[in-house]
Amino acid sequence: TRVLGIESSCDETGLALYDIQKGLLGEVLFSQIALHAPYGGVVPELASRDHVRRLPLLLEELMAQSGGQRPDAVAVTAGPGLIGALLVGVNFARALAYAWDIPVIPVHHLEGHLLAPLLNGVAPFPAVALLVSGGHTMLIEVRGLGDYVLLGETLDDAAGEAFDKAAKMLGLGYPGGPALAALAEGGDPEAFRLPRPLLDRPGMDFSFSGLKTAFRLVSLKVPEEDSVQRSHLAASFQQAVVDTLFRKCQRALQATGLKRLIVAGGVGANRALRDALQSLTADGVELCIADLAHCTDNAAMIALAGALHPEMAQPASAEFPVRARWSLVKEET
């Protein structure tokens, strides 16, 4: 089975072709970063319009890249995300499904992130999953495909959002995560004392707004031209986030008795986090992280998630909801 994946939930337009037997046959991705950069964040209306422009061009590119092979189904992100952006992708998917007489598979964007490590061929269940993206921060017990139980989540900002906001305070561009990580390179992570929110309390929830405030206060004292101090500051912030995520992962592994950790979402591309989590392997934990390009938004993970959910296939004529908000997990243990 070959599945065409379509991703357009935010500011990345992606298409990919995934074959259950052969793996990824091709993928294309267009980032709208330059389009939104002048506004310091994603402008929903601009995002939708650009998805409309890019999708047909990207499809041609993908077809050329993968030898023009027709898919057997088309999987598309149906939520959560920007409603207009989602609608563009879903309508494009439906049009293709009509034209090619193939079914549509609606995919949960976060399940796509969660399953992305599978692109490298490992079967990661059961496992604890740390989902750290621009809009979400969750610890999940993955009991099996589609069986996700919430262990903890952020009470305020998401980890990626915290990176982006801290970067903004330092005058780094949008999106700030990678820029802040680059600035942190070579900085002293212990130069500034920043809080590790909620570590002093039991449980697996996260909070990043206190850290953000502490960071703001400290950053005001660092002159803009002091590049060494700025680097220390970025490193100290990154370390505070990494420490927090690391310790909560340890707790989740302990609480569940599981020995496998999936790390998914854009912050999973962070080098310091990847290095820190690597140390868990010394305790016999198997680490499943997607490669860098598949941590952030992409269509390969959507095609893969669709391929793993054939039972969700619907005829092109069927209506299914597009959801700005959509929970992935059950809240029980």
Binding residues for Fe cation are 109, 113, 297
The DSSP-derived string for 295-326 is TSS-SHHHHHHHHT-GGG-B-TT------SS-
Of 68, 88, 87, 85, nearest in space to 4 by CA: 68
Of 56, 60, 25, 78, nearest in space to 309 by CA: 78
What is the enclosing helix (H) or strand (E) of 288? strand 286-289
- Burial tier of 160 (Cβ tally within 10 Å: 0-12, 13-18, 19+): buried
Task: Please select the residue that binds ligand ATP; options are 5, 79, 134, 152, rule is CB under 6 A.
Answer: 134
- Report the nearest approach of ligand ATP to the CB of residue 317 (Å): 28
Question: Under the criterion CB under 6 A, does residue 266 sit at the interface with ligand ATP?
Answer: yes
Cα–Cα distance, 34 to 37 (Å, whole number):
5
Task: Please select the residue that binds Fe ion; options are 11, 19, 164, 297, rule is CB under 5 A.
Answer: 297
Cβ partners under 8 Å of residue 277, min gap 6: 246, 249, 261, 263, 287, 289
Residue among 103 and 160 whose Cβ is closer to Mg ion: 160
Task: Please select the residue that binds ligand ATP; options are 36, 136, 232, 309, rule is CB under 6 A.
Answer: 136
- Report the nearest approach of ligand ATP to the CB of residue 184 (Å): 9
Cα–Cα distance, 307 to 301 (Å, whole number):
10
CB under 5 A: which stretch of 133-141, 152-160, 246-254, 317-325 binds Fe ion?
A: 133-141
Q: Which does 160 bind (CB under 5 to 8 A by kind): Fe ion, ligand ATP, Mg ion, none?
A: ligand ATP
Q: Which does 18 bind (CB under 5 to 8 A by kind): Mg ion, ligand ATP, Fe ion, none?
A: none
CB under 6 A: which stretch of 88-96, 159-167, 185-193, 229-237 binds ligand ATP?
A: 159-167
Cα–Cα distance, 259 to 77 (Å, whole number):
30
Question: Under the criterion CB under 5 A, does residue 133 sit at the interface with Fe ion?
Answer: yes
Residues that bind Fe ion (CB under 5 A): 133, 297
Residues that bind ligand ATP (CB under 6 A): 10, 81, 109, 113, 133-136, 160-161, 163-164, 175-178, 181, 265-267, 269-270, 296-297
